[in-house]
């Protein structure tokens, strides 16, 4: 068999370097290429062939690791935030103290994690593409939100029952806790409305936690929340 008749390596592109990369590195190389391209071009305009070319592999090689572009985005969500969601859910489920003491630690842990641009790019991508790609929103909801939010809700409810924080609707409280971070990203990514100092996610977290901590302080015996007026539908 001549050299020209030799079977081609499906993992090699025309400009593959002479050294052989380890096979276990290739899925992450493809995911790195994919998130970079999704960020630059958008989900729809990025082809599997583009991802392969950016990663220095053939198009056929991509399918050795991922069955479709949807499988790639699933793997990106899992790599970026899947483990973090499991950690947060477990932390909230196991915590029985004053949640104000925990929230600061969790927030700064998240801020440290998403300081990696390729990790932060995944939730930004979901926010940006969710309106036209509801399957991305459904994926993120199932893998992240449906794990973290119920665990946080239950933690706040336990703290209210123990008298550690003032009583309010725990589900609404969870939205108040996470909502400002989501809005901060929306203002930046969708509307290009940014603080003078830039995104400054840590600054947002510190400001939010200060206000939240004061607002959750238990009421003194002389204080009481105003009665809700009846809703006339």
- Give me the DSSP letters along 134-184: HHHHHHHIIIIIHHHHHHHHHHHHHHHHTTSS----HHHHHHHHHHHHHHH
The fold for domain 21-67 equals: Arc Repressor Mutant, subunit A (1.10.10)
What's the confidence (pLDDT) of residue 6? 44
Residue 232: pLDDT band with limits 50, 70, 90? low
In the predicted model, what is the mean pLDDT of the chain? Answer: 86
Domain ranges of the chain: 21-67, 80-216
What's the confidence (pLDDT) of residue 58? 93
Give tens-digit pLDDT for 11-68. 555 454 434 556 778 999 999 999 999 999 999 999 999 999 999 999 999 999 999 9
For residues 215 and 73, give the distance between their C-alpha atoms in angstroms, rounded to a whole number.
Answer: 38
Give tens-digit pLDDT for 147-169. 999 999 999 999 999 999 999 99
What's the confidence (pLDDT) of residue 145? 95
**Does the structure show a pLDDT above 80 at 131?**
yes
Does domain 80-216 fall under CATH 1.20.120? My reply is no
Taking the alpha carbons at both ends of the chain, their separation in whole angstroms is 82
Query: Quick check: 126 and 137 in contact, CB under 8 A?
Result: yes
**Does the structure show a pLDDT above 70 at 229?**
no
What's the confidence (pLDDT) of residue 104? 87
Residue 2: pLDDT band with limits 50, 70, 90? very low
């Amino acid at each position: 068999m001549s050299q020209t008749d030799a079977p081609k390596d499906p993992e090699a592109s025309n400009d593959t370097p002479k050294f052989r990369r380890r096979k276990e590195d290739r899925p992450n190389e493809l995911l790195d290429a994919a998130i970079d391209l999704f960020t630059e071009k958008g989900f729809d305009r990025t082809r599997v062939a583009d991802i392969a070319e950016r990663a220095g592999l053939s198009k056929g090689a991509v399918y050795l690791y991922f069955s479709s572009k949807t499988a790639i985005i699933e793997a990106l969500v899992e790599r970026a935030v899947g483990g973090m969601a499991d950690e947060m859910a477990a932390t909230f489920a196991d915590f029985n103290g004053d949640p104000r003491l925990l929230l600061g630690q969790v927030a700064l842990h998240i801020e440290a994690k998403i300081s990696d641009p390729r990790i932060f790019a995944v939730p930004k991508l979901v926010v940006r593409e969710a309106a036209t790609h509801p399957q991305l929103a459904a994926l993120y909801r199932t893998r992240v939100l449906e794990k973290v939010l119920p665990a946080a809700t239950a933690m706040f409810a336990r703290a209210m029952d123990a008298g550690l924080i003032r009583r309010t609707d725990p589900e609404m409280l969870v939205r108040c806790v996470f909502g400002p971070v989501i809005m901060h990203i929306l203002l930046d990514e969708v509307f290009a409305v940014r603080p003078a100092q830039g995104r400054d996610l840590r600054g947002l977290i510190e400001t939010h936690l200060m206000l939240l901590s004061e607002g959750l302080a238990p009421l003194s015996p002389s204080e009481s929340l105003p009665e809700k007026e009846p809703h006339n539908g």
